[in-house]
Structure 1
């Protein structure tokens, strides 16, 4: 299963990129404890360990590709993958999230991205 979601944030791409790959920034941006990495191959966890994965591609201020799984994945299920594409448009940034290799039971992640990422991110980047 694969899906694509988009949101627009009131911040430059550089700020969103750097916040996503920073432990402190990711924690503040989502409200869930995160340990992030700014290195390709580096591991990360988010939402108090519910999400874990590795950085596969980091294109500064443009694109983040990560392996991604939650504690709900079955042991035999392979990691899914997220690709975060940042496109600046007139002072705002459009964030496109492509989530691929999602287990068939993963339909609920669509709502999860909105509730646990996009909504808190809109509030976070409006304040900063």
Structure 2
């Protein structure tokens, strides 16, 4: 099992980045795919039409999201996303633990290309 940690910078305020990550309609706008999301601990979520799914664990409004991502029957990964004010916008800290070795490269690529590039494009418009 592997771990991933990275910071991503956006020109939007932390509350706007947090909203884009927790609001079902906003998620569908920046991903271009169906999503299920409720800002309620214990609820199931899915993004990219089910490519990523799991359970919402914790929300701290405009500051933090904690999710459990499902990989297989007994393989779950913990994802913690923190939103920090940063000059001119937001620094989004992503930490994902317990990533299956065979999924690691795909996860890193997903954070860099699917999440960051799509979110950044949303805020650059």
Q: CA deviation at 1:34?
A: 1.1
Distance between the aligned counterparts of 2:123 and 2:76, measured in 1?
29
Mapped contact 1:22–1:35 kept (Cα < 8 A): no
Distance between the aligned counterparts of 1:17 and 1:74, measured in 2?
27
Cross-structure match for 1:120? 118
Task: Summarize the alignment of residues 7-86 of structure 1 with structure 2, pairs less than 5 Å apart.
Answer: 7-69=8-70, 73-75=71-73, 77-86=74-83
- SS at 1:18's partner residue? helix
Runs (5+) with no aligned partner, structure 1 = none
Cross-structure match for 2:97? 100
Q: CA deviation at 1:91?
A: 3.1
Write 1 or 2 for the structure with the bigger share of strand: 2
Distance between the aligned counterparts of 2:63 and 2:108, measured in 1?
22
Mapped contact 1:36–1:44 kept (Cα < 8 A): yes
User: Cα RMSD (Å) of the superposition?
Assistant: 1.2
Cross-structure match for 2:7? 6
Aligned length in residues: 123
TM superposition score normalised by structure 2:
0.92
Write 1 or 2 for the structure with the bigger share of helix: 2
TM superposition score normalised by structure 1:
0.90
Name segments (4+ residues, structure 1) moved above 4 Å.
none
